Chains A and B, each alone.
Chain A
Amino acid sequence: MNDMTLTERAVNATDNKITARNVQVYYGESHAIKDVDVDILDKTVTAFIGPSGCGKSTFLRCLNRMNDTIDICRVQGEILLDSEDIYDRRVDPVQLRAKVGMVFQKPNPFPKSIYDNVAYGPKIHGLTRNRTELDEVVEASLRKAALWNEVKDRLTAPGTGLSGGQQQRLCIARAIATSPEVLLMDEPCSALDPIATAQVEELIDELRTNFSVVIVTHSMQQAARVSQKTAFFHLGNLVEYDDTDKIFTNPTDPRTESYITGRIG
């Protein structure tokens, strides 16, 4: 396997990880995302906020081409990951998704054991040479997801038997087991109770040291708590994108202000 092209790059927190320019998304006839330009930084938590149906989840799903699985969805424009166009014809979405992991709104553990859930990604991508390495990856991922201590004695138990918050952390462990560079989270706490939410939020903050995290949330408090950058979407447009502090204390656009003060939403 020496025939692969490997490019090592140094990364630091001010680098652009993802650059989106002039992105349009259509669902059949309807124009769901209009002219979105955004730069997502590495080692940063970026929050997408906005009222329901504003296109924030749709845009998130463009970043790892999950929209490809929907027949009627078309994406135009340019999305670069480390300055490579992810919608280029040469890109295999399978490889892309190994680099850009995703955690979904509802915890969706596979009906397999906890171990197999986490090992699924490394197995299909062939990331480990033997069982010992796989064990290490599984343990490391579960530790990073702050779940190891709770499940280390029952790795063979089904993942569906865990509580909601544990299931969602299992899904996060599963996503980071493929060592992605970007982690997309689509309202990861909306199905969780407050205690589980707090645990996951804490986890997101820790993940920032290794990954670039993009989180969609409809809770403004959550965005304020976990993110450094915030993008406000409204009716398919990216209205404002800035430091989280700025957005919540001194927004430029009147629509952003209306939203964070609760007048639209």
Chain B
Amino acid sequence: MSDATHSAPHKPTSRSLHAVDARTKRRNASESRFKAMGIGAIGIGIAFLVLLLSTIVMNGSSAFQQTFINVPVYLDPAKIDKKGNRDLADLKKATTFTYAPLIQNGLLDVVKKAGIETDLSKAKELKNLISASAASQVRDRVLADPSLIGQTIDFKILASSRVDGYLKGRVKRADIAQDKNISVAQLDLTDALREAGVIHKGFNSAFIFGADASDSRAEQAGIGVSMLGSFYMMLVVLALALPIGVAASIYLEEFAAKNRFTDLIEVNISNLAAVPSIVFGILGLSVFIQFAHLPQSAPLVGGLVLTLMTLPTIIISTRAALKAVPPSIRDAALGVGASKMQSVFHHVLPLAMPGILTGTIIGLAQALGETAPLLLIGMVGYVATNTPDGFVDGFVSPNSAMPAQIYEWAKRADPAFYERAWGGIIILLVFLLSMNIIAIILRRKFERRW
């Protein structure tokens, strides 16, 4: 620092502005470094987002495809209807164990007809290609229409999850040495049948609309029933959280005097917003199930717990919406002789409605994705196989919910369920995305600037 300016700072000297000095260069370099760090941080954040979304799509999209086998099944009266009287009660005695060999025989016929060479000469050895669900599919069809017995009917049945995984690239030949559920010969046959067009992939509507299946039938598992469970829970949340949340906000924003009671409510709301969701699960377990004896695993209980969880979110956004309505509107209503209550319900509330709805939708979206409290009130571990009969039953009969179903699949031992879990996430995210888009559109369309 031999600069004259530095030793005598106040002496009027002048340095050309057009030459950038070394110190400024250093400072500018550090400026660029700092800025680069900021861009880097944002880049990392966005990269994580892209990674997360692409992982979901890559792993989950295959759940929307499923492998099917076209099999003509001879419905042998000698096996199905031993008495020969087509009586429904007697027909029901024939279990799926009776039907499974019929399907295997049918498939063996196909193999022979197509002239495929294989070491698998017995029908039983084809068992691993066929889903365990196929037998009940055929049986249900027969019970629905006993006149089919004795005919050969074309069925489109599910392939087993190993075959499905093989076609999707999840099951590899190198890995199946230890696998009891599939052999190399069976995979060879699968390849041949695929070329013959007998085994083919198709759109998996059963995944979206169907029910969950037991541990051993990954190929049959669907998210439809738990979607209904989520739907009923959201109905409960909407029916309770919206009116209670709006009423509480109106009280706090428009009527409440500044006193200790109001303070207590305020403190409670802001703290409830930050209580871990698992604690709400504990609340649901001990108050709704142990104390009030509401049914376990019921969407009603799930909905109640999620209502309490969502309330703070809805109250906070509703209060913001009410606050955004300028006082002049209230004054105008009071000025023409309306009561305080009338000014709020006739003028302030309608004006705040778009904001309230936006907040409610975002609260619902949050509730839809919440898992932890549902674990404690028994919505996991329950295999959601039955669609509820009727509206009331939808609330009280045991069910799962979408995120709980995804968790359930993630826990199962068979990796075939992982694909289902990722696929379930795609569906869940589609719901969340559409809810958020609706909220954004609402906000854009009705947003008012005062």
The residues of A with any CB-CB pair to B shorter than 8 Å are 1-9, 11, 81-82, 84, 86, 88, 90-92, 94-96, 99, 122, 124-129, 133, 137, 140, 179, 181, 210
The residues of B with any CB-CB pair to A shorter than 8 Å are 1-7, 9-10, 12-24, 27-28
Do A1 and B22 have beta carbons less than 8 Å apart? yes
Do A84 and B12 have beta carbons less than 8 Å apart? no
On chain A, the residues within 8 Å of B6 by CB distance are 126-129
Do B2 and A92 have beta carbons less than 8 Å apart? no
Do B14 and A181 have beta carbons less than 8 Å apart? yes
Q: Dominant SS at the B interface?
A: loop
Instruction: State in angstroms the CA–CA spacing of A85 and B16 once bound together.
Output: 10
Do A5 and B22 have beta carbons less than 8 Å apart? no
Q: Give the 5 A-B residue pairs with the shortest CB-CB distance, closest first.
A: A5-B19, A179-B9, A90-B18, A84-B17, A91-B17
Instruction: State in angstroms the CA–CA spacing of A57 and B188 once bound together.
Output: 84
Using A4-B21, A7-B14, A127-B6 as known contacts, list a sample of 19 further A-B pairs with CB atoms less than 8 Å apart, ordered by residue number in A: A1-B22, A3-B22, A4-B19, A6-B15, A7-B15, A84-B18, A86-B17, A90-B17, A94-B24, A94-B28, A99-B14, A99-B17, A125-B23, A126-B1, A127-B5, A128-B6, A129-B1, A129-B7, A140-B10
On chain A, the residues within 8 Å of B12 by CB distance are 11, 181, 210
State the total of A-B contacts with C-beta under 8 angstroms.
80
20 chain-A/chain-B pairs, Cβ below 8 angstroms: A1-B2, A1-B21, A3-B22, A4-B22, A6-B15, A82-B14, A84-B16, A84-B18, A88-B18, A90-B19, A94-B27, A95-B20, A95-B21, A95-B24, A126-B23, A127-B5, A127-B9, A129-B1, A140-B10, A179-B9
Do A137 and B9 have beta carbons less than 8 Å apart? yes
On chain A, the residues within 8 Å of B23 by CB distance are 1, 125-126
Instruction: State in angstroms the CA–CA spacing of A129 and B1 once bound together.
Output: 7
Q: Dominant SS at the A interface?
A: loop
Of all chain A residues, the one with the shortest Cβ separation from B6 is A127
Do A81 and B13 have beta carbons less than 8 Å apart? no
Instruction: State in angstroms the CA–CA spacing of A95 and B3 once bound together.
Output: 15
On chain A, the residues within 8 Å of B17 by CB distance are 81, 84, 86, 88, 90-91, 95-96, 99
Instruction: State in angstroms the CA–CA spacing of A4 and B14 once bound together.
Output: 12
Of all chain B residues, the one with the shortest Cβ separation from A125 is B23
Of all chain A residues, the one with the shortest Cβ separation from B27 is A94
Instruction: State in angstroms the CA–CA spacing of A69 and B178 once bound together.
Output: 68
A13 to chain B, nearest CB (A): 12
A215 to chain B, nearest CB (A): 20
On chain A, the residues within 8 Å of B24 by CB distance are 92, 94-95
Of all chain A residues, the one with the shortest Cβ separation from B25 is A92
